[in-house]
Every structure is written in C-alpha cells, then in structure tokens.
C-alpha cells in the first residue's frame, strides 16, 4: 500500500517542474538575487603554486580558462586574428557537407593569403606561398597545418603574456572558488527520481547557478555492509574522467552525514526501456532508433577510447534529457583496463544482454559492449530482445543456451535491410567476427545504417532530436511506487571509512563546474561588473570580488 497520497506526489512534481522551468528561464529570467565571493590575491598565489600550467589545459580545455584567454587575446590584433582563424576551422569541421568547400576557400582567402587584411603574419613562408593559388585539395591539407602553426604561435609569447595578465589572475580567482568545500547546503533538494542499489537518486538544484542535476546518494553504511566502497569510488572516478555529451557527466562529489553523493547530468526525459514499452505501440520509430543508436555508439566509442568497458549496455541505462538527446548512465559496472588491449574474464552485466564470451567467462573487452548494443537496437526496433520475447518466461539456462547457439531471426517488418545487417554484425557469436572488434580500427559508425548521420555535428549537439519529451511530464515513477530504504543496522563507521569518504568527496569537477558557471550567466555578470569597475573615473578597484548579482 502507498503511504503517500496522490497529493504528495502532485506537490513534489509541481515543485520539481517549477524548479526546472526557473533554470530554463536562465539568470536573466529569474528574480532571485545571488551573492558570490571570489577570493583575493593571497588565495590566488596559493592556487597558482598548485597548477601544472599548460596551454592545452589553461587555454583550451577549461571553459573559463578558454573564455579568459580569448578576452586577453582580443586586446592584441594579431592574437585576436589567430583565434578567429581557429574558430573558423572549428566551424568548418562542423559545417554541413554542402557548405564545406565554400567555407574552406573563404578561410584560406581570409587568413592564409599574405595580402589579405586578416592574414596571419606568424605563419611560415612555406605556408603562405603554398596558399597562393592552392587548389581545393591543397587547401584541405594546408588548413590543418596552418591550424598547428597557429596553436604553436599562441603557445609561445601570447601564452606567456597571458599568464602575467589580469585575465589570468581572474582565472585563478575562479579556480580558487572551484576548490571550495561542497556540502548539502549548496543545493535545494526536490523529488526522488529513482532507486539505486545503495540509495535514492533525486533531483537537486545548485543554489548559486540554479542548474538542476540528478544526485545519486550512496548510503555509507550500506556501502560498507555490502562491500561496495571500492566499486563506488571506481564509478565516481570513471564518471569524472568522462567528457562526452553522450555519457552522463559528474559535476560534484560530496558527502553528508549518511551519504556519499554523486551529482550528475539531470536526464529528465525517461529511459529508453520506458519509451520502448510504455508509450504507444511497442518499439520505436526508425528515425528514433537511428538517432539513439548513433548517440549510444558515440558514447561507447568515447568510453572505449578511455580504455573503459561499460558492461551494462541496455535500454534501461540510456536516459533522455529534456531536448531528447540520450546519454549512457549507471557506470556502476564499468571497468578501466590498465592497458588499452588487456582482457578480463569477470562475468558482469545483465542477462539477455551479456555476450557469449562474458557468459562463458572467457577473456573479453570492448567487444562485450558491441554485442549488448546489438541486443539494444533489436529491442528498440522490435520491442523484443533478440533471445527472449516480450513477457516470455525463460530460465537462465535456456537464455544462456539461446545466446550461445541460436541464430537471431528478424521477424518484424520494421527491420530495414541495413538495420538487420547492423544487428547481425553486432550479434556475431565470436568477438573476432563482431562489428567493432574485428580489427583495431573497426568502427561501427562506418556501417551503412548511419549513412545519413554527420557524427561531428551530432557530437556537437547540432542535430535536432526526432522526439522531444513533454516538458510538463515527470518521466519518473510516482513517489509511492519507489520503495524507501530501510535503516542499515549493525554497521559502525571507523577511521578507515572516514578516509575513504574524504577520498570520494572531492567537490566540484572542474570542467563541468566551469561550464555551469558560464551557462548560468555568472561568468559574464562578474566580467561586466569588473569591466565597469576598471573604467576611468571609477575609483572602486576590486581585488577580491564580493558581488550581489
Ligand atoms: N542522471 C540521472 N537523471 C535522472 N534520473 C536518473 C539519473 N541517474 C539515475 N536516475 C534514476 O535513478 C535510478 C537508479 O539509478 P542507477 O541505475 O544509476 O543506480 P544504481 O545504484 O546503479 O542502480 P542499479 O544497480 O539497481 O541499476 C535509475 O533507474 C533512474 O530512474
């Protein structure tokens, strides 16, 4: 029986939906005031000592660093042109196929021709003379070389000057703020979204930025009792290392008295299992199957490049966000290989998605994920997994036999020839015959099924999802259908546990935190206040910054 009435659920949903909308409205749309204190010079000196300064990290990878390096470069015409050129190259990489040639010619004419107004004076003579009268084929080869020379240039004098400029001081202030201790006081908490093995997942909102996230709470005593501490730390470290728009990302890791908390990308559009079985007729339309499969494939590819085997590929673990893009979630079973080509034998995964080699406990690696992807595509198209029909009761032994022996049959007309071929190749019984694992360069993204997908644009978020979840629907079970956790008895936490909790609760994850600060408008607000303060006639110079925004 449900303890909570429908009213409780309604109130929880309304509060949650309203909080989501306040984030959508952005900083400008919200009336609540926020205060922000950026640390002063002493703290900045301390932070500077701790950083291993590199151009790639400080000026390219870290979002706030990139923005401040851009601002610095904009004050010197030559540096500003160099960045404009690099920005154009990125635009070229993401351009639609039919726009590519025109853009390529424009870039060469604007930046590489010695007589052009924006010509890059630091480029080698060999480069500029090759640019005059170059054919399109030559240009395709010249632009990446010019890109390299430009980067080399920026890494020299401009980078050294940047490190001595007030822009870098500002960067250090943000870095100092990034290292603040994170506690539950930084967040508002909303309804529970789901239940995991060690605790609930609930929606939360960062007070400072108003960004919504999902918070996976892991009960400290339960982790200890079920010997889950090592696994939890590994999941946290893996999430932290991932930087893909196709995999859930970690924003904060902190602890409360009872829980270790992982604050991750909020995926509020429901999971693929729900969409396959609970909306309209079973299965998904082919445009959705294509879109999700392309995104999942990018997500798996990203993990594999980091030597991570996901090991739990299935529709239930693929979550949609409010725009209809999907990400892989629940990296609780993922493992990192010490060497990229190592193999492991430990049986892990979900029955019905585990590959023959995992079932037989034979050595396996990334090939296991490609097999599970084959099962997932089959399920998205037909509403049945390849080895078990919907609602069919099958014993573990029979399921095992089917996976090991049965040829997959495609009974539904919904399978196009290309979809069928993709599934067949992914579901090959032997890993060495399986798409994705046949040789070191085997890439499922090159399969004909994906011929209409521009993967670079997809990864950059420039392809519109074919389905957008309803913004007024909460795609989560009603509160009364989510079981509560019972108290963990008979476990005492000791010194060793406290040490582990400290190792886990590392606070803000730099790249995600910096993105959040920029996205929320806080970064621009601070910059404009600082800019006003530095104008002639304004005596109010600031070193530390304490702002009410
Ligand atoms: N990022 C997220 N956004 C929204 N909801 C989420 C998110 N992550 C998890 N959930 C919800 O919480 C539930 C439990 O999360 P998750 O599967 O990661 O926990 P778990 O401890 O690994 O559970 P299990 O081991 O049982 O799979 C999910 O089924 C989903 O409904």
DSSP 8-state code for residue 113: S
Question: Which CATH superfamily groups domain 270-460?
Answer: Transferase(Phosphotransferase) domain 1 (1.10.510.10)
Residue 415 CA, ligand 1 centroid: distance in Å? 30
3-state secondary structure of 135: coil
Q: Is the pLDDT of residue 540 over 60?
A: no
Distances (CA, A) of 161 to 47, 59, 417: 19, 13, 58
pLDDT of residue 292: 98
Q: Is the CB of 198 under 6 A from ligand 1?
A: yes
Query: What atom in ligand 1 is closest to the CA of residue 330?
Result: 18
pLDDT of residue 541: 46
Shortest CA distance to 187 belongs to which of 127, 264, 124, 130?
264
Give the closest residue (by CA) to ligand 1 atom 19: 196
pLDDT of residue 413: 83
Give the closest residue (by CA) to ligand 1 atom 20: 196
Residue 491 CA, ligand 1 centroid: distance in Å? 25
Supply 14's token pair: 């309304």
Q: Is the CB of 265 under 6 A from ligand 1?
A: yes
Residue 193 CA, ligand 1 centroid: distance in Å? 8
- Is the ipTM above a cut-off of 0.90? yes
Q: Is the pLDDT of residue 196 over 70?
A: yes
Where are the strands (E) in 3-147, listed by range?
35-38
Q: Is the Cβ–Cβ distance between 248 and 267 less than 8 Å?
A: yes
Q: Is the CB of 214 under 6 A from ligand 1?
A: yes
pLDDT of residue 367: 96
Supply 321's token pair: 């966000």
Q: Is the CB of 419 under 6 A from ligand 1?
A: no
Give the helix/strand (H/E) hosting 405.
helix 396-405
Instruction: State the Cα–Cα distance between residues 114 and 132, nearest whole angstrom.
Output: 8
pLDDT of residue 29: 46
Q: Is the pLDDT of residue 70 over 80?
A: yes
Q: Is the Cβ–Cβ distance between 318 and 330 less than 8 Å?
A: no
Q: Is the CB of 231 under 6 A from ligand 1?
A: no
Q: Report CA torsion sign: 143, 145, 148, 152.
A: negative
CA atoms within 13 A on the CB side of 222: 16
Q: Which residues does 216 contact at the CB level (< 8 Å), separation at least 6?
A: 196, 199, 201, 261, 262, 264
DSSP 196-240: -SSSEEEEEEETTT--EEEEEEEEHHHHHHTT-HHHHHHHHHHHH
Distances (CA, A) of 268 to 151, 213, 292, 329: 39, 9, 16, 12
CA 318 to chain centre: 13
Instruction: State the Cα–Cα distance between residues 425 and 441, nearest whole angstrom.
Output: 16
- Pick from 329, 469, 482 the residue to mutate for probing ligand 1's pocket: most ligand atoms within 8 Å of its CB: 329
Q: Is the CB of 319 under 6 A from ligand 1?
A: yes
Q: Is the CB of 200 under 6 A from ligand 1?
A: no
Residue 279's pLDDT band (cuts 50, 70, 90): confident
Within a 10 A sphere around the Cβ of 81, how many other Cβ atoms? 20
Q: Is the pLDDT of residue 224 over 80?
A: yes
Residue 497 CA, ligand 1 centroid: distance in Å? 24
Instruction: State the Cα–Cα distance between residues 488 and 292, nearest whole angstrom.
Output: 39
Q: Is the CB of 332 under 6 A from ligand 1?
A: yes
pLDDT of residue 117: 87
Where are the strands (E) in 351-410, listed by range?
none
Query: What atom in ligand 1 is closest to the CA of residue 265?
Result: 1
CA 245 to chain centre: 4
Give the closest residue (by CA) to ligand 1 atom 9: 201
Q: Is the CB of 435 under 6 A from ligand 1?
A: no
Residue 537's pLDDT band (cuts 50, 70, 90): low
pLDDT 10s digits, 100-126: 999 999 999 999 988 888 899 999 988
Tokens 């702002």 belong to residue? 547
Residue 25's pLDDT band (cuts 50, 70, 90): low
Q: Which residues does 282 contact at the CB level (< 8 Å), separation at least 6?
A: 276, 382, 383, 390
- Average pLDDT, rounded, for the chain: 90
pLDDT of residue 22: 76
Residue 319 CA, ligand 1 centroid: distance in Å? 9
Which neighbouring-strand residues pair with 308? 336
Q: Is the Cβ–Cβ distance between 314 and 376 less than 8 Å?
A: yes
pLDDT of residue 217: 96
Give the CA-trace dihedral at 185, 188, 191, 197, to 10 degrees.
-30
Question: Which CATH superfamily groups domain 180-268+479-509?
Answer: Phosphorylase Kinase; domain 1 (3.30.200.20)
pLDDT of residue 535: 55
Say if strands 545-548 and 35-38 run parallel, antiparallel, or are unpaired.
antiparallel
Q: Which residues does 43 contact at the CB level (< 8 Å), separation at least 6?
A: 173, 176
pLDDT 10s digits, 134-168: 787 788 899 999 999 999 999 999 999 999 999 99
Average the pLDDT over 338-344 and give the result: 91
Q: Is the CB of 235 under 6 A from ligand 1?
A: no
| Annotated domain spans of the chain | 41-178, 180-268+479-509, 270-460
Query: What atom in ligand 1 is closest to the CA of residue 268?
Result: 4
Q: Is the Cβ–Cβ distance between 259 and 217 less than 8 Å?
A: yes
Pick from 288-292, 482-486, 492-496 the range whose average pLDDT is largest.
288-292
Residue 28's pLDDT band (cuts 50, 70, 90): very low
pLDDT 10s digits, 364-386: 999 999 999 999 999 999 999 99
Residue 195 CA, ligand 1 centroid: distance in Å? 6
pLDDT of residue 33: 59
Q: Is the CB of 250 under 6 A from ligand 1?
A: no
- Pick from 16, 190, 191, 196 the residue to mutate for probing ligand 1's pocket: most ligand atoms within 8 Å of its CB: 196
- Pick from 191, 201, 334 the residue to mutate for probing ligand 1's pocket: most ligand atoms within 8 Å of its CB: 201
Q: Is the CB of 329 under 6 A from ligand 1?
A: yes
pLDDT 10s digits, 383-416: 999 999 888 899 999 999 999 999 998 988 889 9
Q: What percent of the chain has pLDDT over 90?
A: 72
Catalytic positions, written as ranges: 312
Question: Which CATH superfamily groups domain 41-178?
Answer: Regulator of G-protein Signalling 4, domain 2 (1.10.167.10)
Q: What percent of the chain has pLDDT over 70?
A: 93
Residue 486's pLDDT band (cuts 50, 70, 90): confident
Residue 251 CA, ligand 1 centroid: distance in Å? 16
């Amino acid at each position: 029986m449900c303890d909570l009435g429908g009213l409780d659920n309604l109130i929880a949903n309304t509060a949650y939906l309203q909080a989501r909308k306040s984030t959508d409205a952005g900083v400008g749309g919200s009336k609540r005031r926020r205060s922000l204190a950026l640390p002063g010079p002493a703290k900045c000196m301390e932070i500077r000592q701790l950083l291993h300064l590199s151009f790639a990290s400080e000026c390219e990878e870290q979002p706030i660093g990139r923005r401040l390096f851009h601002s610095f470069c904009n004050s010197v015409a030559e540096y500003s042109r160099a960045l404009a050129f690099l920005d154009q190259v990125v635009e070229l990489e993401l351009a639609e196929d039919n726009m590519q040639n025109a853009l390529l010619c424009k870039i060469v004419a604007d930046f590489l021709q010695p007589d052009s107004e924006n010509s890059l004076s630091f480029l080698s003579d060999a480069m500029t003379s090759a640019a005059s009268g170059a054919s399109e084929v030559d240009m395709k080869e010249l632009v990446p070389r010019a890109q390299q020379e430009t980067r080399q240039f920026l890494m020299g004098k401009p980078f050294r000057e940047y490190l001595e400029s007030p822009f870098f001081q500002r960067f250090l202030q943000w870095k100092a703020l990034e290292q603040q201790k994170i506690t539950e006081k930084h967040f508002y908490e909303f309804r529970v979204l789901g239940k995991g093995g060690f605790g609930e997942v609930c929606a939360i909102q960062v007070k400072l930025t108003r960004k919504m996230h999902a918070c996976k709470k892991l009960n400290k005593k339960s982790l200890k009792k079920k010997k889950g501490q090592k696994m939890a730390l590994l999941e946290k470290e893996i999430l932290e290392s991932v930087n893909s728009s196709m995999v859930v990302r970690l924003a904060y890791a902190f602890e409360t008295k009872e829980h270790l908390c992982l604050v991750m990308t909020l995926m509020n559009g429901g999971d693929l299992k729900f969409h396959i079985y609970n909306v309209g007729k079973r299965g998904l339309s082919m445009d959705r199957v294509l879109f999700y499969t392309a995104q999942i494939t990018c997500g798996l590819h990203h993990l594999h490049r980091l030597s991570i085997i996901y090991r739990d590929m299935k529709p239930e673990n693929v979550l949609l966000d409010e725009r209809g893009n999907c990400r892989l979630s629940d990296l609780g079973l993922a493992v990192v290989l010490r060497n990229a080509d190592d193999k492991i034998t430990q049986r892990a995964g979900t029955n019905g998605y585990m590959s023959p080699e995992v079932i037989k406990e034979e050595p396996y690696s990334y090939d296991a994920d490609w097999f599970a992807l084959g099962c997932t595509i089959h399920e998205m198209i037909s509403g049945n997994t390849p080895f078990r029909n919907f609602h069919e009761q099958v014993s573990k032994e029979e399921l095992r036999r089917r996976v090991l022996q049965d040829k997959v049959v495609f009974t539904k007309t919904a399978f196009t020839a290309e979809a069928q071929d993709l599934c067949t190749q992914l579901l090959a019984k032997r890993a060495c015959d399986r798409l994705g694992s046949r040789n070191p360069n085997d890439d499922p993204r090159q399969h004909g099924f994906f011929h209409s997908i521009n993967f670079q644009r997809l990864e950059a978020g420039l392809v519109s999802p074919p389905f957008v979840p309803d913004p007024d629907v909460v795609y989560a079970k009603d509160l009364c259908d989510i079981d509560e956790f019972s108290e963990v008895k008979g476990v005492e936490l000791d010194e060793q546990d406290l040490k582990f909790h400290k190792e886990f609760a590392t606070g803000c994850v730099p790249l995600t935190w910096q993105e959040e600060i920029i996205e929320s408008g806080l970064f621009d607000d601070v910059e404009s206040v600082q800019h006003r303060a530095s104008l002639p006639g304004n005596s109010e110079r600031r070193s530390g910054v304490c702002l009410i925004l």
